Structure 1
Amino acid sequence: MKSINGWRRFATVASFVTLSAAFSSPATVQAADLLAQVKANGTLRVANTQSSPPWSMLDENNQPVGYDVAIAKEVGKRIGVPNVVFVADSFKNFVEGLKTGKYDLVMNDLTPTPERQQQVDFGEPYGVEDFRIFVPAGNTDIKGKETLKGKRVGVVTGSSNETWARAHLHDSDIRSYDNGGLVFSDLGNGRIDAVIISHFGGMKYANVNHLPVKEVGEPLIYQLSAPALQKGQPALLAAVDKAIADMMADGTIEALARKWVGQDYDMAGTITKAKAHKE
């Protein structure tokens, strides 16, 4: 028969082992299992705004379409999860949504900025665009970045164009909007003087809203877009990177870019140019 002290020693050791397992096991499982989990579930959850043409938007049947949507579907097939479910969310929520497991990937013209890279991981870039200044067609005093001093400048909340504007336009009145359509509506009715947004997004919103606007100045910056995912998921990251590399090599990315972005847009070449471009 064990002594009381012996039982106490046994209980202490057992408790220590149990606590150690409790603290170490979940993190290990989570770090290793996301790719296996999406394969087991047969579903890959991908977040996008569904209001960022030509990257993601809703068609006449209220279904997500666009360049990023098409790329995400192809990535799903190539990593063995052909059923891709799209989750609508805003730019400002993407990072937190990944960290809390709301979705598995974000693929919506998301730029791997240093701030975002501290919190989530990014795969290889599959898209790129240049960001421009849009003004009403009749505007004559805004000609580029240097003439935005004192002007009311609209940006999309949580987007990389908001980050860029706040970092570079210290003398401008930066105003954030949750939706690109709203920012162009305010540009049209005179509540703001200019909008900073991608060339493609700006032209789409202008056309949808039938607004007389124009681009002015040179591109402010080239911004790559890449898939984002939780940190500590090397298997999923490697699988997504391989899928994108294969799509670059076999011409799939170029073909999808011609379909959704423009027939004369050199996506692969512009990605290379953006990588070499310095702010």
Structure 2
Amino acid sequence: MKKSILASLILVPTLILGACSAGEDKENANDAGNDNKEVYKVGIDTTYPPFEYEKDNKYVGIDVDLINAIAEDQGFEVKLEAMDFKGIIPALQANQLDIAMGGMSITEDRKKVVDFSDPYFDAGITLVVNEKNNDVVKPEDLKGKKVAVKKGTSGANYAQSIEKEVGFETVLFDDSPSMFLEVKNGNADALFEDYPVISYAIAQQDLGLKVVGERLNEDQYGIGVLKGEEQELLEKINKGLENLKESGEYQEILDTYLAE
């Protein structure tokens, strides 16, 4: 960290206001009294239980517990920034974030702008329909039908990759609850969602939905940083993740939210 440069900038408030970035926020937070620990901004989507959601005015979930545990293990701090999932990578590119989470699948397209950590969760896309619907059990059954997906997700990418071949219409939503409600109310015939997310949601609430068929791919989640810019941070994340798995704390975090 360039402490000498920062010290000189503090003497010129107008320069600070004109050149604020996520990296400078980290440095300013350090000088404000955080035991000289680096503070990284983490983008999360709080409409994505069990990975990220709000409970009792606090952010909780697998991703929240995991990044906090990694930070503690590696001696840095994090500041959680809640936003729409589709805005996380653009915010990372704009230096408004240092770390991207949100149950983010590791994909070739995302690898063009994001460096991912080692995978930390095996997910996979699944097909979901109204609990009274017995006609749709596989993607091929969606011909001539309407499919709901959440913007910017792997479910949306999967739907768009097969919609012309199968012959269905894709409808985009900003958040998962709206997408779920669309299928429950019969305005859409099905949706594509990450298996652990929809399974958890169905178990916790009366959504009027059911999962059908097998998982449609083998998506894995990773923690992202800006490509080519944060290799030291990425190494810390990977080392922390490795330590948590070896100690058993990683499994404890999963069991907190996924154990039946």
Structure 1 stretch 87-96 or stretch 37-46: which is displaced more?
37-46
- 1:8-87 mapped onto 2 (5 Å cutoff): 37=27, 40=36, 42-59=38-55, 61-81=56-76, 83-87=77-81
- 1:55-204 mapped onto 2 (5 Å cutoff): 55-59=51-55, 61-81=56-76, 83-170=77-164, 171-204=167-200
Q: 1: distance between equivalents of 2:104 and 2:183?
A: 24
Name the amino acid aligned to 2:95. G
Q: Which has the larger radius of gyration?
A: 1
> How far is 1:208 from its partner?
5.8
Q: Is the 8 A contact 2:50 2:197 kept in 1?
A: yes
Structure 1 stretch 139-148 or stretch 41-50: which is displaced more?
41-50
For the pair 1:246 / 2:240, whether they are aligned, the reply is: no
C-alpha RMSD over aligned residues:
2.0
Aligned length: 228
Q: 2: distance between equivalents of 1:168 and 1:227?
A: 27
* TM-score with structure 2 setting the length: 0.81
**Cα gap change, 1:205 to 1:257, in 2 (>3 Å):** closer
Q: Is the 8 A contact 2:200 2:258 kept in 1?
A: no
Q: 1: distance between equivalents of 2:206 and 2:140?
A: 28
Percent identity (aligned): 23
Unaligned runs of 5+ in 1: 1-32, 264-279
Q: 2: distance between equivalents of 1:74 and 1:136?
A: 37
> How far is 1:207 from its partner?
5.3
Q: 1: distance between equivalents of 2:93 and 2:169?
A: 32
For the pair 1:261 / 2:255, whether they are aligned, the reply is: no
Runs (4 or more) in structure 1 with deviation over 6 Å come to none
Name the amino acid aligned to 2:106. P
Q: Does the residue aligned with 1:169 lie in a helix, a strand or coil? A: helix
